[in-house]
Structure 1
């Protein structure tokens, strides 16, 4: 099913949707401004700098020129809000301004935040340089942990391990956060054998927290080891640590996957008890998990509950609900909900319509898919790589090769760097070969060359198309040499075969 190809974009919705969290935080910030009665504050001015090119420092200077005081605690609060909203550039500008003020007393925790922002805005190398240049008294537990977090985010296992050793020598591993960072790193890298050792070391120096147990459960989930997960959950309860919604979400996912529906229903009830306005994203996870259990009524109930709790649904929540309705084969309701999203959202996020586009293509309703695509464009929604990818597959099923090649070309051209979809390339070439369509094969080669994806297999597929058409391609060896592509045994056999055929003029005019 083509909808499965959308899973990477939906994974965050189903579990820890950062987009949902971001929008919830934005709503929270708006509520804060409203509660102040709309009065002019430095926080309001800085949070209103919607465009990255606008300067936070200029806004602070103007505030001071107007005779207002600038307090450190207020700036720290604003930085926290900006980080929640992923407005890292403006948050960094505020931190840098504070660093330049002699009357602002900065603590290691302030520099830890500063380091994290540098990593996000300017990259790892700049963050390392910032850490090296810090005074020794500021290279304490907070800044070391911040640098460790940066290494984990960049999947720098070796550097993270070296830093952990140094932190151990300096007595900085007396709380679980650094260990949790390492657990996160090893789980994301698939280095699961290292997880038990990290947990043993953690228990020697401190006590696990709920995040530790959640990460441990995540490892069990990746191995689908229900028995181990239940033992870990019992240990968590014995340690008198209160499980959170993530704990129960992870357990439920495992139970659903293992068809342990009774247990899944039980953990879902516990999970819902822990969902609240503060952890808004938990509701999207609940919707997805009930969908996986086929609990249609529960999905509708939760959506109604969410609408009663929150002023406005965000894109991630609409994405989650539409995806669930499609999965439950509630297509009419999914279409109605999409129409509602069109009327209330001004983001133009194409990930939402892509769900319905995929649904139409999955059901071989290509006419409806085309009409829906036109509707997207009329609404000012710009197609993404996924949009073009879906249309490519749809037209391929219909054997409309000109449209296949056009959509494939647009898909590749819609991204700065294309991650080659070898299956799609093979399927398109297979169709071209079956029909001896050498013009189409040459067009496809040109698209792949522009994307930096020509290799021996691609040229062999091209040569097989020529062989099927009974034609000899021109200057293939020279073109392969120019593209720095190696011959293999199949290439040699195909060249021998096609050299006995009639010369084709196609390759000379397309290459």
Structure 2
């Protein structure tokens, strides 16, 4: 049943009335039905205008329904409805939200088809999206196109250009040349300009220059934001200048600028990397008191720091807090804790965390895969050395099931362990699989197998009888 038959429409329908209906309907499909029903059969003479079309397009974009949204543009053109630049700006931002910069360029190129002339706002928006998505080659090309089209330079466009130059390696000095030229051409650098350059300097490890620029920024009447301070603090922490970072924290607080999660996380990471995990823990408690919610990066830094200092109990406590907050530890974090247990020869505890990782569905990515393989093999070898062959064998079977490579040393450890226990059936099976995998047993492994069979009474008696016969023949 259509929306037209389900509801009673007034004789006189207005755009405001249709907008209210669409806004009040949470279900997108029903909202579309209302939109279509408003003009059904044109019995009431209502035609959609720029405001109702614009609202429907924004609703579709918010749900990432890009094709239907662009179809609405076609309907607007067919209905000879004026299409404003604001609608295109909404489409650009929606595509940018899902990281599709080339779709932004495509739609920008179609503006004139809809008799909509792009202004400087559209040009700068598209340019900014290309830079944010790190499509720097295309961004510089688009900037040249802007200038060819006569789009005048503005603080907004120059800020985006400076950001692009700060992101591109080796062009930071070019960004500063534009910065110094701005006042000569009637453009006053703003807080965003300074913040972008400070971030660029910090990324390049030029933290002292960044701090000097902060002083210059304030002297020129531009107030630094929490983002500016956080970038500087992160830069100092990356350069192992913790005292300078802590001084900046005090400085921003004295100016009434409250640190955010990124600020605290940067400081916590810096402290943990330099062996000050307990001090980092104090910062964690302070940020929680301020009702700031720690993120995965915050917890990861603490876990790495505690593991580095051999404080596994504290690391596990942080891991538990992380899971209580519904944040899923990655394979790298689990590997850090597992390796920590291996360092102190607690291989059963390490194996338990391996099981937990597998059961939670945590899988390594391309970066952590090699670490993942080494950790598994290390635990199996450790379990063998500590006399836990059955647990080692179960873990070994899990490796083969999940396609994780088994190292030559791991095969050898298992074979020697089972031979020592007299379980030659498992030892032989592992030896077969070792050879199939292309691993060559070493002398120690072969000797373990031979010793294992030699200890069997019948094999020993047969060998002794054969030796006696050979002696008789001579």
TM-score (norm 1): 0.59
**1:395 aligned residue:** 338
Structure 2 Cα separation of the partners of residues 108 and 410 of structure 1: 56
Give 3-state SS (helix, strand or coil) of 1:149's partner.
Answer: helix
* Among candidates 222, 225, 245, match of residue 274 of structure 1: 222
User: Residues 339, 263 of structure 1: CA spacing in aligned structure 2 closer, same or farther, 3 A cutoff?
Assistant: closer
- Alignment check: 8 A CA contact 2:95 2:104 kept: yes
Q: Aligned pair in 2 of structure 1 residues 299, 361: CA closer, same or farther (>3 Å)?
A: farther
- Is residue 105 of structure 2 the alignment partner of residue 150 of structure 1? no
Give the structure 2 partner of residue 121 of structure 1. 63
Tell me: CA distance 1:158–1:431, structure 2 relative to 1, closer, same or farther (3 Å): same
Tell me the alpha carbon deviations over residues 351-406 of structure 1, each in whole angstroms, 9 at most, x when there is no partner.
Answer: 544432332123232233234445x37xx833533366424312213314444454
Query: What is the distance in 1 between the residues matched to 2:234 and 2:295?
Result: 20
Alpha-carbon displacement from aligned partner over 1:42-84 (angstroms, at most 9, x marks no partner): xxxxxxxxxxxxxxxxxxxxxxxxxxxx989x99xxx9xxxxx
Change (3 A) 1:197 1:371: closer
- 1:341 aligns with 287
Structure 2 CA distance for aligned equivalents of residues 135 and 185 of structure 1: 28
- Which ranges in structure 2 are unaligned for 5 or more consecutive residues? 1-14, 385-391, 416-426, 450-474
TM-superposed deviation, 1:198: 0.5
SS of the equivalent of 1:274 reads: coil
**Of 85, 90, 103, which aligns to 1:159?**
103
Q: Distance in 1 between matches of 2:124 and 2:432?
A: 56
Kindly report which structure 2 residues correspond to 1:461-500, keeping only aligned pairs within 5 A, or say none: 461=406, 465-466=410-411, 469-470=414-415, 471=427, 473=429, 493-494=438-439
Report matched runs for 1:216-255 at 5 Å. Answer: 216-225=161-170, 226-255=172-201
Structure 1 residue ranges without an equivalent (≥5): 1-69, 80-88, 478-489, 503-511
Measured after TM superposition, the shift of residue 412 of structure 1 is 5.8
Cα distance in 2 for partners of 1:358, 1:94 equals 50
Match of 1:197 in 2: 141
Structure 2 residue aligned with 1:428:
375
Q: Using the alignment, how far apart are the partners of 1:260 and 1:267 within structure 2?
A: 11
2:396 match: 441
Contact 2:61 2:94 (8 Å CA) reproduced = yes
Q: Is the 8 A contact 1:360 1:368 kept in 2?
A: yes
Is this contact kept in 2: 1:182–1:198, CA < 8 A? yes
Which secondary structure does the structure 1 equivalent of 2:324 belong to? coil
What is the SS of the residue equivalent to 2:186? coil
State the Cα distance separating 1:432 from its structure 2 match. 4.8
**1:290-327, CA deviations, whole angstroms, 9 ceiling, x for partnerless residues?**
54563145323235236x456xx654554355445546
Whether contact under 8 Å (1:322, 1:334) holds in the other structure is: yes
CA contact (8 A) 1:291 1:328 kept: no
1:11-410 counterparts in 2 under 5 A?
108=50, 115-134=57-76, 136=78, 137=81, 139-167=83-111, 170=115, 172-185=117-130, 188=133, 190-205=134-149, 206-225=151-170, 226-271=172-217, 274-275=222-223, 280-289=226-235, 291-292=237-238, 294=241, 295-305=244-254, 308=256, 315-323=261-269, 325-326=271-272, 331-345=277-291, 352-373=298-319, 376=321, 381-382=324-325, 384-386=327-329, 389-399=332-342, 400-408=346-354, 410=356
Change (3 A) 1:413 1:351: farther
Q: Deviations along 1:444-465, whole A, 9 cap, x unmatched? A: 455xx4xxxx4xxx3x436874
Distance 1:430 1:128, change over 3 A: farther
Tell me how far apart the structure 1 counterparts of residues 355 and 233 of structure 2 sit (CA, whole Å): 36
| Distance apart, 1:201 and its partner CA | 1.0
Cα distance in structure 1, aligned partners of 2:101 and 2:31: 28
Contact 2:408–2:441 at 8 Å: present in 1 too? Answer: no
**What SS does the corresponding residue of 1:242 show, helix, strand or coil?**
coil
Structure with higher RCO (Cα < 8 A, 6+ apart): 1
**Residues 191 and 256 (structure 1 numbering): CA distance in 2 closer, same or farther, change over 3 Å?**
closer
Deviation at 1:202, TM superposition (A): 1.2
Q: How many residues align?
A: 391
Alpha-carbon contact 2:271-2:277 (below 8 Å) kept: yes
**1:63 aligns to what?**
none
Cα 1:135–1:336 change in 2 (3 A) is: same
User: Do 2:233 and 2:266's aligned partners in 1 also have CA atoms closer than 8 Å?
Assistant: yes
Separation in 2 of the partners of 1:469 and 1:148?
59
1:326–1:334 Cα contact (<8 Å) kept: yes
Q: Give the superposition deviation at 1:197.
A: 1.4
Residue 199 of structure 1, CA deviation: 0.5
CA distance in 1, matches of 2:187, 2:132: 22
Q: Distance in 2 between matches of 1:360 and 1:162?
A: 50
Distance of 2:411 and 2:359 partners within structure 1 = 26
CA contact (8 A) 1:108 1:138 kept: yes
Q: Secondary structure at the match of 2:63?
A: helix
Check conservation: 1:244, 1:274, Cα contact below 8 A: yes
Secondary structure, aligned partner of 1:229: helix
Assess, with a 3 A threshold, how the Cα gap between structure 1 residues 186 and 251 changes in structure 2: closer, same or farther.
closer
Distance 2:441 2:279 in 1: 58
